[in-house]
Structure 1
Amino acid sequence: MSVKHVLSRGLEFGRCVCQLGFLKSAGRVVAGNLRAAPPARTVQPRAFLPTRYRYYRTSLGGLAARLQSAAVWRRFAGGSPRNRSVLLAFGVGVGLIEQQLEDERGSAAACQEIQAVFRKKRFQSPLKQFASGYKLEDYKIGNRIGKGSHAVVYEAAAQFAPVTESGGKSRQREEDFPLAIKMMWNFGAGSLSEAILKSMSQELVPAAPRAVKQEKEQMILDGQFGNQPKRMLAHPNVIRVYRAFTADVPPLPGAREQHPDDSAGLGNNRTLFVVMKNYPCTLRLFLEVTTPSHRVGALMLLQLLEGVDHLCRQGVAHRDLKSDNVLLEFDSGYCPRLVIADFGSCLAQRDSSLQLPFSGAWVDRGGSASLMAPEVATAVPGSGVVIDYSRADAWAVGAIAYEIFGQRNPFDGAVGLESRSYEEKQLPPLPAAVPADVQSVIRLLLRRKPSKRPSARVAADMLHLSLWGRKALVGHDSAGMRKLADWLLCQSAVVLLRGCSGPKGDSVEAELQRCFLSNLELEDLRTAAGFLLYG
C-alpha cells in the first residue's frame, strides 16, 4: 500500500470516528470497518508490528472514546493546521493498523491452508500391519534387551507372516528380531485379564488401532479414560504399541531371577505383554558412546519437542521423560531418530487439561526428582490444589538437552541443582560451540515459572526457524511477516515435492518439516519469532 493510499484510508477512518463520535461508540464504528472473519485462533501482532504503532493496535477503542468526549471535541473540532495535524497523525495510525490486519488475515489464511494440506498426510508407521499376534505363542522370544522397575523387555519376532499394506505376504528371516515384547511385573492387579489390562492401561495409551482384541477394548479402558477409550494418533517421535494381551508368565531368560513369584507360578502368575518395534538402543546408551554434532544435537532436541507437543495435543503428559525412556534408531543418513517410550507413569485425559487434583500425599506426582519440573516438585497437597503438567514435559526436555550436548543433567545427583529451589542464573553454561538460538531455547525451557516458559510447540517452532528459516526473520515489521509467509509457502512446496520423489518417513529432517507444517499456527510462530528476535 502506497503512502498516499495509507493517508487517504487513515483520514477516512479518522473523519468517520470524529463525525460519529456523539451518535454511537466510535470504537464500534472503527471495529466494524476493520472486522474480518475470525481465524481459528486469535492473532495478536506481537513481534512484527513496529513498537511505535502497537499502542494504536491495542488501544484503538480507548483512543476513539477520548475523541468522543466534549472536551476533546471542543479542542480539536476547529480547522487550524494544528488540529489537522492531529487528525492526520490519527489517520496514518489507523491506516497502518488496517494494513497490518490485512497482512495478518492473509498470513493466517496461508497457515491454515498449509496446515490442512499436511494434516491430511497422517504419519503411518513403516512397520507392516499384523493379521494376528494376540497370543504369546505367536512370537519367537530372543534375548533380554532391557529391564526397569516395572517391566523387562525381550527381542522378538512374529512366527506368522506380517501382512503388507498391499495385502501381500512378506518374508522374514528367522534370525531377525524386528519386534520387542515388554513383560510387565504384576505386583497387585490380580490374575484376571480384565483387571490386569485396566490396572496397566497407561501402557496402552500409545496403542495402535486393533492393538487389543475388540471385544475387550471398550471394557478395559472405560474406567480409566471415560466413556470412550483414549486413542492417540501415531507420531514419528512417539512409540507405537502394536499388540497388547495377557498371558501366563513363561520361563523366559532371567525371569526366575528377576520375578521369582511369577516364574514359579505363585501369586499373580498372569501379566500384561506389550508388543512394539525393536529399537537399537536408548538415548542414554547412545550418548554414553557418542557426542553428536551441534546440528544433529539440535535435530534430536527438536524431535523431543515435537513428540512432547504431540502428547500435549492428545491430552497426555508423560511425567517420566528421561534419556532411559527415549529409544533411538537411525535414518538412511545415519541421523538419530528419537521416540518417546514407557508410558507407565503418564497422565492421560480426554479433556486435555493436563491438570491433576493434588488432594493428598498419596497422589502420584510421577517421574524422578532429577527431571521433575519446579511446579510439580514444589506442589503441596491440599484441598483445591491442582498440578498443571501442560509444560512439565517441556521443562524435562530442557534438562535432557544438556546430555545431548555432552554435559551432565544439571539436576542429576547430590551435587546437582534441585528443581524445587534452583535459580535460573545457577544453570551451568552450555558449550560455546552450541548455536546461540539453541542455547536460548534451552534456557527458556528451564525457566522456573511455567507462565514464562514457552510451550513445546513454541520451542519447536523456534528451532525450526533457526534451522531452516532464520533468513526470513529479517525485520520486525509487517514486511518481515510477509517474507516469513512467503518462506512458509516455499517450504511447503519443497516438502511436498520431496515427499513425492522419495520414500516417505525415511529422513528425520523431512519428518520434522512435515510435523512443523501440519501443526502450523500463526500465533505460535509469531511468538517463536519474537523470542528469537528479542530474547
Structure 2
Amino acid sequence: MSVKHAISRGLEMGRSVFQLGLLKSGGRVAAKLRADRFRVGPSVRSAQPQAFLPSRYRYYRTSLRGLAAQLQSAGFRRMMGGGSPRNRAVFLAFGLGVGLIEQQLEDDRRSAATCQEIQAVFSKKRFQTPLKPFTSGYKLEDYIIGNQIGKGSNAAVYEAAARFAPPKESDRKCSLVQLREDEEEGETSRSMTCCSSLRNFPLAVKMMWNFGAGSSSEAILKSMSQELVPAVPLALKQEKEQITLDGHFGDLPKRVSAHPNVIRVYRAFTADVPLLPGAQEEYPDVLPARLNPAGLGNNRTLFLVMKNYPCTLRQYLEVSTPGRKQSSMMLLQLLEGVDHLCRQGVAHRDLKSDNVLLEFDSDGCPHLVITDFGCCLAQNDSSLQLPFNSMWVNRGGNASLMAPEVSSALPGSGVVIDYSKADAWAVGAIAYEIFGQHNPFYRPLALESRSYQEKQLPALPSSVPADVQLVVGLLLRRDPSKRPSARVAANMLHLSLWGRKALANQDSTGMRKLADWLLCQSAVVLLRGCSGPSGNTVEAELQRSFLSNLDLEDLRTAVGFLLYGREQSQACILSE
C-alpha cells in the first residue's frame, strides 16, 4: 500500500468512525433518513459531540479538536519512533480526519445558533386573529342568524351577526368577484351579493347535531369536546370551563394556539335546538321531537361561533384555476397548518378540500384555514399514537384520504397507529385538486390508500414546478418512514419559492451559505412587516411562519431532498 493510499484510507476511517460510530447515537434517525434511504449525501448532526460519547470513552470527551491534536501528536511520535511506514501514515491521517470533522461540526454549531436566534425573534411575533376579542356572546340569543351556508354529516353552518358590539371586519378581501370578472353579468351579480352578505354577517354559527349525548351541557361538551380544540381561551364561560375540567366529566382535549392557517372558535355554548331556515327540508331527522315528531335529535346541542369565510377550497377550485405561484402557496399553507397541529399533539384525521375554508388577502391571494375538528386526535403527550386493539377504535373520518398506515392497520394486542405523518399524506392527495387535477383517491380513478402502488399515481401537469412535483410525490409515499414530515415538506416549498439562489451552490452538509440567506431573508421579512398592509399578505405570513419554526436538522433534510430530486431530474435529462 502506498503512503498516498494509506493517508486517503486514514482520512476515510477518521470520518466514518466518528460520523457513523461514536456520533451516530444522537442523530441516528436523521442521518439514516438522509444518507441511507435517500442517498443525498452524508451529514453530521449539529449537537455537541461530547453528549453522544459513552462514559467509558473518557479519553475522547475533551472535544474532537483536542482528540485530533492528540492523535496527530501521537502519529508524529510514532513516525519518529518505530513501526511500519504504512501504519504510521494511517494513524496520522486518522487524526487529520478527526480534525476535519471538528471543522464541520463548528460550522454546524454556527448554523444552528443562527437558526435558533432567528426562531427566537419570529416566535415572539404571535399571530393576531383578524377579529376583535369578544366580550359577550355566550347565548344563541346574542346572534342574528341568517341563511344556511354549509351542511355536513355532523352539523349545519349558518351566517350570523352579533347583536352586541360587532367585531371589526378583516382586512382580507372576502369576495369572489375577482374570480368572475370575465363571466357573464348574472354571475358577477351573485358574487357581489355574496360579498354584501359577508359584510352583514361576518360570523358563522355551527350547530352540531346531537343524537346520543343527552341534553345536559356537561354531557354535550364531553361528547363533542374535539370541536373545541381550535377554541380561544375564553370560548367557554369560566364556570363551564371549570365544570368540564374538574375531572368528573372528563378532560377537554388540549387546545391549539392561534395560527393563520387554522380556524379559531370564538365562542362555544349549549342551547335549545331552534328551527332555523331550511331545517325541515335539509335535516328533518336530526331535529328534536318538539320540532319534528319523527326527529331523532335531542333538545339541546353545541353551538360554535367562528369567522364567516366566503367559500371552501373545493368550491373555489370549481370556479377558478389559481396561478402557478398561488397554487404552490396554497399547498404550503396546508402544510404549515398541519405542522402547527402536529407540533401541538393534534392530528386532524379528516382533511379534505371541503374542510378547508378560503378567503383572499389584500393582494388577492387565496388564504386557507383548516376547519372541522370533529374527528381529530388530540393528545397531551403529543405522541399522536393511538392504540388499535379493536375494530371499534375510531381511526378518523374520510376513508378515501386515510393514510396507508392508518387504512391498512389491523387491530390487535400492542398495535399502535402513528398519525404523525397521516395528515401530511392527505395534503399530498389534495395537491392534485389544487393543481387542477382530479384527486386520484376519488372516483372514477379511486385508488385505495391501503393497496395503491406509487407508480399508479397520475402525473401532475407539466406546468407544476419540478420541486413541487417532488414534494407531492414524497408526501404520497406509502411507507411513512420514507415520507417527509409536514415541516420538512413545507421547508422544501419555502426554499423552492424564495431560496433558489441560496440553493444554487448548496450541498447537503455545509449550511453556511444557507444560514447567510436566512439572515438576509429575516431582515427583509422584518422590514416588510413594518411597512403597512403588505405585511399582512399570505406570502408575508408564510415567510414569518417558516422563520419562526427554523430547525437546522429539518432544514438540512429538506435541502437533501431537493438536491436529490434535482440530481434525479438531471440524470433523467441526460439519459434521454
Label 1:449 to 1:173 Cα distance change in 2 as closer, same or farther (>3 A). Answer: closer
Which aligned pairs between 1:162-201 and structure 2 lie closer than 5 A?
A: 162=166, 176-201=200-225
2:264 corresponds, among 232, 236, 240, to 240
1:329 corresponds, among 351, 359, 364, to 359
Q: Is the 8 A contact 1:221 1:229 kept in 2?
A: no
Task: Kindly state the Cα deviation for residue 515 of structure 1 after the two structures are TM-superposed.
Answer: 0.5
Match of 1:420 in 2: 450
- Give the letter for the 2:207 counterpart: M
- Give the letter for the 2:139 counterpart: K
Q: Is the 8 A contact 1:151 1:182 kept in 2?
A: yes
* Structure 1 residue 512 corresponds to structure 2 residue 545: no
Q: Deviations over 1:229-267 (max 9, x none)?
A: 622100000000000001111121012231353273465
Q: In structure 2, the residue corresponding to 1:114 is in which secondary structure?
A: helix
Q: Is the 8 A contact 2:219 2:249 kept in 1?
A: no
Partners of 2:552 and 2:127 in 1: how far apart? 23
Partners of 2:434 and 2:141 in 1: how far apart? 39
Q: In structure 2, the residue corresponding to 1:241 is in which secondary structure?
A: coil
2:157 corresponds, among 147, 153, 157, to 153
Which aligned pairs between 1:57-456 and structure 2 lie closer than 5 A?
A: 78=82, 82-83=86-87, 85-162=89-166, 176-221=200-245, 230-257=254-281, 258-260=283-285, 261-262=287-288, 264-265=290-291, 268-413=298-443, 415-456=445-486
Task: Kindly state the Cα deviation for residue 183 of structure 1 after the two structures are TM-superposed.
Answer: 0.4
* Structure 1 residue 525 corresponds to structure 2 residue 550: no
Task: Kindly state the Cα deviation for residue 400 of structure 1 after the two structures are TM-superposed.
Answer: 0.2
Partners of 2:521 and 2:199 in 1: how far apart? 42
Task: Kindly state the Cα deviation for residue 385 of structure 1 after the two structures are TM-superposed.
Answer: 1.2
Q: Deviations over 1:141-181 (max 9, x none)?
A: 1110000110000000111114779xxxxxx9996111000
Among the aligned pairs, what percent are the same residue? 74
Partners of 2:82 and 2:124 in 1: how far apart? 60
Task: Kindly state the Cα deviation for residue 417 of structure 1 after the two structures are TM-superposed.
Answer: 1.1
Task: Kindly state the Cα deviation for residue 132 of structure 1 after the two structures are TM-superposed.
Answer: 0.2
- Give the letter for the 2:401 counterpart: L
1:502 corresponds, among 512, 532, 537, to 532
Label 1:227 to 1:150 Cα distance change in 2 as closer, same or farther (>3 A). Answer: closer
- Give the letter for the 1:185 counterpart: W
What residue ranges of structure 1 are gaps of 5+ in the alignment?
1-9, 18-25, 68-72, 166-171
Partners of 2:80 and 2:356 in 1: how far apart? 67
Task: Kindly state the Cα deviation for residue 422 of structure 1 after the two structures are TM-superposed.
Answer: 0.7
Would you say how many aligned residue pairs link Structure 1 and Structure 2?
492
- Give the letter for the 2:492 counterpart: M
Label 1:345 to 1:406 Cα distance change in 2 as closer, same or farther (>3 A). Answer: same
- Give the letter for the 2:242 counterpart: Q
Partners of 1:295 and 1:531 in 2: how far apart? 21
Label 1:376 to 1:338 Cα distance change in 2 as closer, same or farther (>3 A). Answer: same
Task: Kindly state the Cα deviation for residue 217 of structure 1 after the two structures are TM-superposed.
Answer: 1.3
Label 1:318 to 1:479 Cα distance change in 2 as closer, same or farther (>3 A). Answer: closer
Q: In structure 2, the residue corresponding to 1:286 is in which secondary structure?
A: helix
292-301 vs 91-100, which moves further: 91-100
Partners of 1:204 and 1:311 in 2: how far apart? 14
Q: Is the 8 A contact 1:320 1:367 kept in 2?
A: yes
Partners of 1:431 and 1:381 in 2: how far apart? 39
Partners of 2:440 and 2:312 in 1: how far apart? 20
Task: Kindly state the Cα deviation for residue 415 of structure 1 after the two structures are TM-superposed.
Answer: 3.1
- Give the letter for the 2:404 counterpart: P
Label 1:224 to 1:457 Cα distance change in 2 as closer, same or farther (>3 A). Answer: farther
Q: Is the 8 A contact 1:222 1:228 kept in 2?
A: no
Label 1:530 to 1:174 Cα distance change in 2 as closer, same or farther (>3 A). Answer: closer
Q: Is the 8 A contact 1:222 1:229 kept in 2?
A: no
Q: In structure 2, the residue corresponding to 1:400 is in which secondary structure?
A: helix
Label 1:311 to 1:486 Cα distance change in 2 as closer, same or farther (>3 A). Answer: same
Q: Is the 8 A contact 1:320 1:346 kept in 2?
A: yes
Partners of 2:476 and 2:99 in 1: how far apart? 41
Label 1:477 to 1:342 Cα distance change in 2 as closer, same or farther (>3 A). Answer: closer
Q: Deviations over 1:58-102 (max 9, x none)?
A: 99x9999xx9xxxxx999963766455434432432222111011
Q: Is the 8 A contact 1:139 1:159 kept in 2?
A: yes
Partners of 2:532 and 2:486 in 1: how far apart? 29
Q: Deviations over 1:196-238 (max 9, x none)?
A: 1111111000000100001111332566997676221000000
TM-score (norm 1): 0.84
Task: Kindly state the Cα deviation for residue 474 of structure 1 after the two structures are TM-superposed.
Answer: 3.2
Q: Is the 8 A contact 1:41 1:523 kept in 2?
A: no
Partners of 2:274 and 2:155 in 1: how far apart? 14
- Give the letter for the 2:551 counterpart: E
Partners of 1:92 and 1:533 in 2: how far apart? 29
Q: Is the 8 A contact 2:40 2:560 kept in 1?
A: no
Q: What value does the CA root-mean-square deviation take over the aligned residues?
A: 3.7
Match of 2:191 in 1: none
Q: In structure 1, the residue corresponding to 2:288 is in which secondary structure?
A: helix
